[in-house]
Amino acid sequence: MFRLSLKMTLARKGRLLLTSLAIILGTSFLAGTSIFSATINSTFDRLFTDIFRDVDAYVRSTNSVDTGFGEVRAPSPVSALEIILKVDGVSAAVGDMQSYARVIGKDGKPLGEDQGPPTFGGIASSSAAGLWIVESGRLPMGAKEMMLDRKTAEAGKFVIGDSVRVNALSGTREFSLVGIANYGDVSSPGGATFALFDQPTASEFLLKPGFVDAFLVQGDGTLSDEELAKAINSALLPSDKLETLTGAEITEETTSQIKKVLGFLTTFLTAFSFIALGIGCFVIYNVFSITAAQRQRESALLRAIGASRRQVTNSLIVEAVVVGLLGSILGFVVGIGLSQALSALLNAIGLEIPTSGLTINMSAIVSTVLIGTIITTLSAILPALRSGRVPPLAAMRETALDVVTRLTRRVIIGLIFLILGVIALVASVNGADVKILGVGVLAVFAGVLVLGPAISRPVAMLLGKPVSKIRGVTGTMSQQNAARNPKRTARTAAPVLIGVALVTSFTALAASIKGEIRESIGSSFRGDYALSVNSRGFGGIPISVTDKIDQLPEVATATGVGFIPAKVGDESPFVLVFNPKTAEGLYDLEMIDGRQSDLGKDEILLEQDKAIEKNLPIGSTVQVTLVDGRTLQLKVAGTYKDAYGNYAVSRELFEGTATPLFDSFIYISTVADVSDKNARKAISAISADLGVGTLESRDEYIDSQAAQVNQFLALIYGLLFLSVVIAIVGIIITLLLSVFERKHEIGLLRAVGMTRSQVRTMVRWESVITSLFGAVTGVVLGIVTGVVIVISLNESGISGFTLPITSTIFILIGSFIIGVLAAVFPAWRATRTNIISSIASN
């Protein structure tokens, strides 16, 4: 029987192909994601192993703040270098620095992108422990010389002898380029740019005189790395607060830190690949259901001539296993291509992640093939059981394919899911846990999917009404065809439904966030212009620039807002840093209690909800630990409605400390009679000199801040694209199978005078009705989900739901187009139906 099943499976190439297609698409994203993750992981592994190849020990400060997006560590005093060099077993040691520095190109524009890989400034050293290998020229010496990494030099078309402008914490300076270097074996790690100086220049220009980030140490080979680290540790002064790691430890730590950040991304991608797989499941299940129905007579014949139920069921399962294996192996191959596409997608939206080569783990292959095969087999179980239940008698008589099944049980189960879901949603709207929200959304989706076959007939009839009006009997047949097999229609529409619901809810969420951004910036920002950088927590506009702009005669006031990582109580947030002296009337925190202009050096402001959550009333104190290890007791001086952060402090707090201060944006109000042109000219003169920042009017700034959500939305759309493709392929497959199943009918229609174009019209509109059925239910579900999420997340700062009307209309038009596109091939196939052979009696 097994061999027979196998033979029957392979004999039907068309069906095999269609089923495999669904599996290939479903599994390819999963494979693509795991290949992509493996590739970035191994890229970073290799990179850091390269970087720290010659480092036997690493000395750094013990003070740090981990924000969850990477660690921020305090600088180390250069004086410790003397101590380290004297330790027995140390052959070389050098200061290391990776601070913010941006090279300004010959055209006056900074190199690298605002959203791109980081731009670093560091120490060029001749020590064997140094990471840089001079390729041409020599090491920089003194305050006027610098070196560039080869890639940046090439990108900026700089040659030795050129003068290069660099922007860093303490402003913009001009250096003469004396050398070009490689970083280990690579010209530039991860696409970052590097401006390198001798240690005193680097410390003074990039960080703080007399400090570096850390020290790289090379042993003389007499001690093991562990012994070396121990020896250094015991030599270090306790007052310097330094610690020593072995080369292996720092490699491991750096790599795992990067991987942790990338972990968010890969988890995110994996979530979407499972969505695609789930949608693929529907298609696979649908294909098996249809083919099982189509070969009902074959199954009945097998039963009639003595095959047991089990054997009939098993033959379908064998088919599923074969197709599942085949499909997921091919899916893996397609996934290799998709992993490249993922890279391209992330690049396109500005999240550049370095990948080199292609890392394919055996485990990725195994898991893809395993998951693909298991899912295919599971999808086939129900149809296979149904096949086994076909009575042998069905072989003898004409069996009607349009079986009207009892829907009562389905309606009850669907409603139960729906009601439970709604209860959970109502609970979460009223403040229940986010997990309840997730459960509620899932239950509502499940309920709608279970109810699908019960509502697909009436909804399809309704949607088909205008079609039948416009297209006459051809349209009526489209309408009837879409409604004749409610289960099939519902299953075909399900992927569209899920895809559209996700797209709609994300779009609605994005629209609401945009609305919120507009509102909150609109109410907090009262000035005329904003100068901003999008540096993602690394660097920004040095506060000296803010003060310079403030001094301009055209400018009434300029106030800057920046963020700094710190430990506050039991959290490690980015704390908002502003200047209370200039912020009044320009940057309004919308205070509920207290006055923002009164904020003193030893005080802190809290967001209202945070203050309540942490039970920190006005007058209480909260402990704040800064990156440099300084621990402060700050007094709660007021609460505000909402801003970019839950905590706000005065920039005075950092005066005279080693902590570098940057502003992320500067709000500017101009004096009364200055023209727009003159104001821009004056401000740009300063920002252009730095080569950083975007100067925008209030309206422009609000627009561009809100538009940042689009980047996120673009990523979501990109990731959902494959799900949409799977949904389209699902419709194509179903239509093809339906066309095949109805070939008698189509032959007859052709015989009695239906033209080819009418046949095409008939198939096309059936497809459109099916797709719109999915889209309409999806939009409804998506909006409901969106509203609920927005309301539930109210606390986290989204206050109003914005319905994206245009986007919703576009989604519906898109689904219409999907319906039309999906029908192209099946409709063409339908017109090829041979009249004679399809009306022949058998």
Based on CB atoms, which residue is closest to another protein, 680 or 756?
756
Q: How many CA atoms lie within 13 A of 620 on its CB side?
A: 12
d(Cα 195, Cα 100) in Å, to the nearest integer?
A: 9
3-state secondary structure of 670: strand
Q: In angstroms, what is the minimal distance from the CB of 835 to another protein?
A: 5
Q: In angstroms, what is the minimal distance from the CB of 797 to another protein?
A: 53
Based on CB atoms, which residue is closest to another protein, 402 or 699?
402
Distances from the Cα of 264 to the Cαs of 68, 114, 235, 276, 367, in angstroms?
Answer: 11, 21, 39, 19, 21
703-732: b (≥16 Cβ within 10 Å) or e: eebbeebeeebebbbbbbbbbbbbbbbbbb
Residue 691 — left, alpha, or beta (φ > 0 → left; ψ -120 to 50 → alpha)? left
Based on CB atoms, which residue is closest to another protein, 623 or 755?
755
Based on CB atoms, which residue is closest to another protein, 805 or 836?
836
Q: In angstroms, what is the minimal distance from the CB of 751 to another protein?
A: 5
Based on CB atoms, which residue is closest to another protein, 796 or 841?
841
Based on CB atoms, which residue is closest to another protein, 9 or 468?
468
Q: Where are the alpha helices (DSSP H) in 88-204?
A: 150-155, 199-202
Which secondary structure element, helix H or strand E, spans residue 596, and what is its range?
A: none
d(Cα 256, Cα 263) in Å, to the nearest integer?
A: 10
Q: In angstroms, what is the minimal distance from the CB of 816 to another protein?
A: 23
d(Cα 630, Cα 497) in Å, to the nearest integer?
A: 54
Based on CB atoms, which residue is closest to another protein, 78 or 835?
835
Q: Which residues contact 256 (CB under 8 A, 6 or more apart)?
A: none
Q: In angstroms, what is the minimal distance from the CB of 460 to another protein?
A: 12
Q: Quickly tell me which residue has 């740090």 as its tokens.
A: 64
Q: Is residue 449 within 8 Å of 497, Cβ to Cβ?
A: yes
Q: In angstroms, what is the minimal distance from the CB of 409 to another protein?
A: 24
Cβ-count burial of 689 within 10 angstroms (0-12 exposed, 13-18 middle, 19+ buried)? middle
Query: What is residue 402's DSSP assignment?
Result: -
Residue 213 CB: number of other CB atoms within 10 A?
21
Q: In angstroms, what is the minimal distance from the CB of 461 to another protein?
A: 11
Q: In angstroms, what is the minimal distance from the CB of 340 to another protein?
A: 45
Q: In angstroms, what is the minimal distance from the CB of 747 to another protein?
A: 8
Q: In angstroms, what is the minimal distance from the CB of 490 to another protein?
A: 18
Based on CB atoms, which residue is closest to another protein, 167 or 481?
481
Q: In angstroms, what is the minimal distance from the CB of 749 to another protein?
A: 7
Structure tokens given for 496: 């569209």
Based on CB atoms, which residue is closest to another protein, 257 or 399?
399
Based on CB atoms, which residue is closest to another protein, 593 or 745?
745
Based on CB atoms, which residue is closest to another protein, 41 or 456?
456
Residue 807 CB: number of other CB atoms within 10 A?
18
Q: What are 619-624's contacts with CB under 8 Å, separation 24+? A: 622/568, 622/569, 623/567, 623/568, 623/569, 624/566, 624/567, 624/568, 624/575, 624/649
Question: CA angle, corner 451, sides to 409 and 771, nearest 5?
Answer: 145
Q: In angstroms, what is the minimal distance from the CB of 393 to another protein?
A: 18
Query: What is residue 796's DSSP assignment?
Result: G
Structure tokens given for 460: 């399809």
Residues that bind another protein (CB under 8 A): 400, 402, 472-474, 476-477, 480-481, 484, 744-745, 747-756, 758, 835-836, 839, 841
Q: In angstroms, what is the minimal distance from the CB of 491 to another protein?
A: 19
Helix then strand then coil, % of the chain, to nearest 5:
60, 20, 25
d(Cα 777, Cα 585) in Å, to the nearest integer?
A: 48
Based on CB atoms, which residue is closest to another protein, 703 or 745?
745
Based on CB atoms, which residue is closest to another protein, 430 or 837?
837
Based on CB atoms, which residue is closest to another protein, 553 or 753?
753
Cβ-count burial of 313 within 10 angstroms (0-12 exposed, 13-18 middle, 19+ buried)? buried
Based on CB atoms, which residue is closest to another protein, 373 or 468?
468
d(Cα 765, Cα 490) in Å, to the nearest integer?
A: 16
Q: Are strands 57-61 and 163-168 parallel, antiparallel or unpaired?
A: unpaired
Q: Is residue 147 within 8 Å of 140, Cβ to Cβ?
A: yes
d(Cα 830, Cα 743) in Å, to the nearest integer?
A: 8
Q: Is residue 97 within 8 Å of 212, Cβ to Cβ?
A: yes
Q: In angstroms, what is the minimal distance from the CB of 830 to another protein?
A: 14
* 626 DSSP β-pair partners: 566
Q: In angstroms, what is the minimal distance from the CB of 704 to another protein?
A: 55
